[in-house]
Amino acid sequence: MTETTDNIVVETAEKIFADLADAQTINASKDGSWRAPLWRALSESGLPLSWVPEACDGSGASLAEGFAVLNAAGRAGLAAPLAETMLAGWLLAQASIASPEGAMTIAPVHPKDRITLNADGTLSGRARGVPFARDAKFIAVLAQRSDGASIALVDASTCRIDHGLALGGDPSDTVTFDKVSPLKLAAAPQGFDATALLLIGSVARSLQIAGALETMLEISVRYSNERVAFEKKISKFQAVQHNLAKLAGETSAALAAATSAADTLANATAFDDAVMLEAAAAKIRCAEAAEKGAAIAHQVFGAIGFTSEHILHRYSLRALAWRDDFGNESHWAVELGRMVARRGADDLWPLVASR
């Protein structure tokens, strides 16, 4: 697709977010009436199935287009299963399984969780912290068996879903598969494993974190130019200027790492060491930026930024929550170390310098 087409896709997403997912409106909503119109608009635009080929009933957009949409969703602090449905559709497409209509989520999302494909074709296991599981109609599952991985489409109503909440207030549920019969089941492509799923999920979350940081920076700078203390704007105080510069640096670093990983994955033909390096490094750096950036933004706003009525927490808490999905920074730091050790010292610099 051309750059113009890419821009149209992102502009469509941004318009929907601005019209139907305004942070101030959602923050003030008590009945969740904004959810249905937002999801309807997203579905009509084809965004949830962006990564699903037309042959599998999707929009057929490129990985690059989808990644740009997810970055925009992060800037909006989107509290809807858009990323989860996109990833679920992508996973199903790896096995040429058509995506159904409706919200989906994906399992497992943590490195230590495992879903097993039994000899009779049923699924067993438990997946923790599955985002928006209670709101999803279907779950795309990566299941393991001794002879390789399989991909399954599961009706969410056939699973036991124990409700939980992520730090940002979004559903983060435990899904138990007790000999669940999938609606569709197919073998995963040769070489496709849980690491591949974790890598693309990590890139998605990195882009969302970077987007949230962009908005935190924007509203923090704007507030500092409006808030007056001791008869002058707080943006004139050196300490505030220093903190805002640090926030800008963290935002830029996160955005650079996330977009570099997205570009690498979008142009890769396999989940090789280059993808591992970029995706793992992006998740680590974006997670660090989320922690530092959220602290700075809340310092700029002071007590008002901690209240539930203010929109800052819609971005800061989600950015912090997204750190844990698809492997946290500690997990990826260990995996990077193992990869470097496996390749040997002589290969480290050429690999890093080639990025």
Longest dimension (CA), the chain: 74
pLDDT 10s digits, 318-350: 999 999 999 999 999 999 999 989 988 888 888
2: pLDDT strictly greater than 70: no
5: pLDDT strictly greater than 70: no
**What is the CATH number assigned to the segment(s) 3-187?**
2.40.110.10
What pLDDT is attached to residue 345? 82
Rounded average pLDDT over 270-283: 94
pLDDT 10s digits, 119-133: 999 999 999 999 999
Domain boundaries, the chain: 3-187, 194-353
35: pLDDT strictly greater than 80: yes
Find out whether 210 and 258 touch, Cβ atoms under 8 Å.
Answer: yes
Class of residue 287 by CB neighbours under 10 A (exposed 0-12, middle 13-18, buried 19+): buried
pTM, 2 dp: 0.95
DSSP-assigned beta bridge partners for residue 181: none
pLDDT 10s digits, 236-270: 899 999 999 999 999 999 999 999 999 999 999 99
C-alpha distances in angstroms, 284 versus 4, 159, 311, 328?
Answer: 31, 32, 26, 7
Q: Which residues, 6 or more positions from 303, have their beta carbon under 8 angstroms from its beta carbon?
A: none
Q: What is the mean pLDDT of the chain?
A: 93
pLDDT 10s digits, 56-81: 888 889 999 999 999 999 999 999 99
3-class DSSP assignment, residue 326: coil
Q: If you write DSSP's letter for every residue of 116-156 in order, what string do you get?
A: EE-TTS-EEEEEEEEETGGG-SEEEEEEEETTEEEEEEEEG
Rounded average pLDDT over 297-314: 90
**% of the chain beyond a pLDDT of 90:** 82
What pLDDT is attached to residue 138? 98
**What is the CATH number assigned to the segment(s) 194-353?**
1.20.140.10
Instruction: State the pLDDT confidence band at 95, using cuts at 50, 70 and 90.
Output: very high
